[in-house]
Amino acid sequence: EVRLVESGGGEVHPGESLRLSCAASGITFSAYDMSWIRQAPGKGLEWVSRINPTGTGTQYSASLEGRFTVSRDNTKNTLYLQMNSLKVEDTAVYYCATNKMGRLWADYIPPSDGYWGQGTQVTVST
C-alpha cells in the first residue's frame, strides 16, 4: 500500500516560515518525481513545485516569487517544502503527490488515481 503522510502545517503570521514534510512508503521513493500541490479555501488545486528523483532538478510556480524551496532525503523517504516569508494568500491545504509512473512536469497536477497524501493545513493570518 502506498502512503504519503504530510506534516508540519500550522498557523503562523505573515513573514514567518514553516517546513512541511511528506513521508512516503510503499513506493521506491528514490525513483519518483514528487510534487507539492495546494488548495486554498474555496479554490481549485494549484501546482506549487516539482522535484526530480535525485533532488537535482526543481521547478516552482512563478507565483511563489522564490519564497519556497523543495527538497528530498531519499535515505529517509521524505519530501520537504521550506516556506519562507509566508503571506496570507499562502493559506491552503498542502498535499504531496505523484502519479503511478513517477514522472511529473511543471504545472502538472497528478490525477486522483495517482498517489496523494491527506494534506496538511497551513494558515497564515494577522
Percent of the chain at pLDDT > 90 equals 99
The three-state secondary structure class of 66 is coil
Q: How far apart are the first and last CA of the chain?
A: 40
pLDDT at position 48: 98
For the stretch 93-120, pLDDT in tens is: 999 999 999 999 999 999 999 999 999 9
53 phi/psi in degrees, rounded to 5: -60, -35
pLDDT at position 78: 98
CA 58 to chain centroid, in Å, comes to 12
pLDDT at position 6: 98
For the stretch 30-74, pLDDT in tens is: 999 999 999 999 999 999 999 999 999 999 999 998 999 999 999
Taking the C-alpha atoms of residue 15 and residue 72, their distance in angstroms, rounded to an integer, is: 24
Dihedral angle at the C-alpha atoms of 89, 94, 98, 104, nearest 10 degrees? 20
pLDDT at position 101: 96
